[in-house]
Chain A
Amino acid sequence: MSPVVAHSPALSKLSQSRWPHRLAAALLGLTFPLIWIGSLVTTTQAGMAVPDWPNTYGYNLFLYPWQTWLWGPWDLLIEHGHRLLASAVGLLTIALAVALFCLDGRRWIRWLGIVAVVGVIGQGVLGGMRVLLDDRTLAKLHGCAGPAFFALCVALWVCTSMWWTNAKRRPTTGGLERLTLITALLSYVQLVLGAQVRHIALGARPDVFQMLVVMHLALALVLLAHVTVLVVRTVHHRRDQPALVRPAMLLGVLMTVQVGLGLATWVVKYGSPAWLADWGWAAGYTVAADSMLQAMTVTAHVATGSLILAVALVLALRCWRLADWGRQAAVAGSATLLGVTT
């Protein structure tokens, strides 16, 4: 059994109340559907279904006739729905920040709560400006900021948990902690690249899109390799820590699903690749524009990307929380894998 080190006595005083963690969990529970719906807005190009902001067709956002919203056109349904859900996320973020301020003694997490409030307001303003200016670059930034805010919610959720408070430091394995962090960073970079592909300007040259897609694919391969190594090493080095093994396994599953969704996204958008053209199924396949299958596949690919970032971040935060950098765990041999030395 590896030696363990308790955290400083100050830690035991932290997070006495469970409310911040509950609110953070609720925030996560609302933010993920918000990312789905936001992604659906982009997929179905419904962003300009409501031309004003912060009002909806002149009504206060919350007073817009619900019958018109629910039984109106699809684009209006999801764009206004996206705004309502975003407002709920904003209010919950404020509630969480207040709860952190009142119930959590840690100064840095109070600041993190304030950052979340600033972030959610900033994201809302960005979305509003995207509508008012009908600007594709702002839409791209809005699409990149969404997962970043989701990651912040994940961080708040992890850091307010009992596990975080009670965690005992373990000798570091060296590479594992860095690997988790790099995987989380790469997941976000991949999301940003995906947003560039998705929001490509209509006047862009074909070779720009081609380069972005190639980069997105190349990074997907790198990420796949990273996640594979991460799962193997987490299971190997931290098998006695279900709080690490579970997210690592989940990350592996999500990554596999995501690769499948990525391929499916291409097929439902652009048909089968040319090298499959001679296969009977591919030769006769016709893409169905604006179908529910197309919308949901593309949206699921985007949302799963955010989920991968979230799980990678959970793993990274927990790994770093456990790491006692003063001591190195005894590891049989030394190997270099993807530039990470154990």
Chain B
Amino acid sequence: MMKANSSWFWARCGLSGTLLGMLLLGLTGCGEAPPARFRLNMVEMVSSEMSRDQQIGIANVLTAAFGTPDEPFAMAEAELDLKKLKAAAGAVASDQLGNEVGLYRRHCAHCHGISGDGAGPTAAFLNPYPRDYRQGVYKFKSTERVARPTRDDLRRVLVEGVPGTAMPSFRLLPDHQLDALIEYVIYLSMRGELEQRLVAETFDLDEGERIDQLPEVAEITKEVVAEIGEKWAQASDLVINPDADLAPPTDRSPAELAVSIAAGRELFHGERAACVKCHGTTALGDGETTDFDDWNKRLFKLSESKPDLDLAELGALPVRTIRPRNLRQGIYRGGRRPLDIYRRIHAGINGSPMPGSAKASPDAAVGLAAEEIWNLVDYVQSLPFDSLSLPPEQLVAPKRERL
């Protein structure tokens, strides 16, 4: 009896093991290892009703203009450094002297994806999602809202990381590797921007026409790439540099600082800056919490307008709302210097619901003057030290009373 039981047990073990092995192989694919290739932005393709043939046309133009993940290429109009691109592209490897290649795949691709679509294998678990570079939209930068970031802005994010997110600090990488990664990120952005423009151009073509078969395709591509390259080249001219005469002096007395904080508090809770709308009256980030960033808003609108579209099948991540920052923690993802916070308030955060608050011109009727923005900076910086931000045991009065 025991022997029969034992045989049955072994048979079950064997069967379970076989089934499990098949399941694992099925899940991961036996010998799958898909070759590294750029993926088309299928959400754009399908929502713009590009036919399969037209998609191939767009892919051909993109390959001609930017090469492949293993063999990147940049047209002269893009003003990219091909040597740096080659160091960042390709498979991970190094030599006896320690020269490394494949830096993007080594450090970035598992979250940001080979194509820079922010949908690498690990992306679904991360909150916020990794940046999708393909629109050329970056949140934390020193430039005006819709301007591209400077290379220094990208370097700062790489070196400092983004606190409270999965974006790590690459402080330990040597400068030349950081330079190569920055160049490659810009390359992926430009490629994505060109892809969007090609979709728009193809949309205007007659049915059955492919963009890669147009006689003037080379001129169109050069023109668009030059336009995109120009935006990136102009970024350093669009850095927000507040007027030094209007900046608060560094040797302010506590009383002067208190006055500025009080003015900032008024603005924060008032209608002109209307910070409380999202950050909440408590500044805990508990105001409007049902809004989306631009990437998710686009997907949300698509899902509303075309409910039959299977966005997940097209490679999109599930839509998520964005959380306003809890300003009482003293954690600022775009940098903690007063200048960083000034720039956030001045231009807002591109791609997010955080609007720019600065006046369009000194004489403009709406918006905040530079002094008022500095008042807000002082108030925001005071919040982590406000009694409401202290642990409960240190509170001397109920929260409602102190508000």
Contacts and interface: CB of A to CB of B under 8 A. Distances in A.
Given A280-B329, A283-B331, A289 B24 contact: no
B24 A196 contact: yes
Interface string B9-37: 10001000100100010011111111111
Interface residues of A, number: 62
Given A75-B94, A189-B20, A213-B125, A289 B27 contact: no
Interface stretch (A121-129, A130-138, A241-249): A130-138
B28 A289 contact: no
Contacts of B32: 137, 201
A206 B121 contact: yes
A59 B127 CA distance: 47
Given A203-B34, A290-B172, A325 B91 contact: no
Interface stretch (A45-53, A101-109, A225-233): A45-53
A206 B119 contact: yes
A173 to B, nearest CB: 13
A284 B163 contact: yes
B170 A290 contact: yes
Contact of A209 (B93, B109, B121, B127): B121
Interface string B120-133: 11111111000000
B172 A291 contact: yes
A270 interface: yes
A280 B119 CA distance: 28
B30 A137 contact: yes
B163 A274 contact: no
B238 interface: no
B366 interface: no
Given A204-B121, A287-B166, A48 B92 contact: yes
Contacts of B106: 45
Contacts of A286: 160-164, 168-169
Contacts of A74: 98
Interface in A274-297: 274, 277-278, 280, 282-291
Given A200-B121, A206-B122, A75 B98 contact: yes
Interface string A79-99: 000000000000000000000
Contact of B125 (A137, A185, A210): A210
Interface string A187-202: 0010011001000111
Interface in B311-345: 312, 315, 317, 323, 326, 329-331
Q: B20, B91, B122: which has the most chain A beta carbons within 10 Å?
A: B122
Contact of A178 (B9, B97, B114): B9
A212 B163 CA distance: 27
A163 interface: no
B13 A185 contact: yes
B94 A46 contact: yes
A211 interface: yes
A336 interface: no
Interface in B85-113: 91-98, 100, 105-107, 109-110, 113
Interface string A137-181: 100100000000000000000000000000000000000001001
Contacts of A213: 125
Interface residues of B, number: 66
Contacts of B122: 200, 206, 209, 270
Contacts of B6: 325
B170 A289 contact: yes
Nearest to A266: B125
A5 interface: no
Contact of B91 (A134, A193, A215, A282): A134
Given A73-B96, A210-B124, A325-B6, A285 B170 contact: no
A281 B123 CA distance: 23
Contact of A283 (B30, B107, B163): B163
A291 B6 CA distance: 50
A48 B169 contact: no
B51 interface: no
B402 interface: no
A72 interface: yes
Nearest to A280: B329
A271 interface: yes
Contact of B121 (A208, A283, A288, A325): A208
Contacts of A137: 29-33
B237 to A, nearest CB: 30
Q: A74, A137, A181, A272: which has the most chain B beta carbons within 10 Å?
A: A137
Question: Which 7 residue pairs of A and B lie closest in terms of their CB atoms, listed nearest first?
Answer: A73-B98, A287-B168, A206-B124, A289-B168, A274-B127, A209-B121, A48-B93
Given A137-B31, A205-B315, A271-B164, 11 more contacts: A49-B95, A51-B93, A73-B94, A202-B36, A205-B121, A206-B119, A206-B122, A208-B27, A287-B166, A288-B168, A328-B2
Interface of B: 2-3, 6, 9, 13, 17, 20, 24, 27-37, 91-98, 100, 105-107, 109-110, 113-114, 119-127, 160-173, 312, 315, 317, 323, 326, 329-331
19 contacts: A73-B94, A73-B96, A75-B100, A76-B94, A134-B91, A137-B30, A181-B13, A189-B20, A201-B121, A202-B110, A210-B125, A212-B28, A272-B164, A284-B329, A287-B168, A290-B107, A290-B170, A290-B172, A326-B2
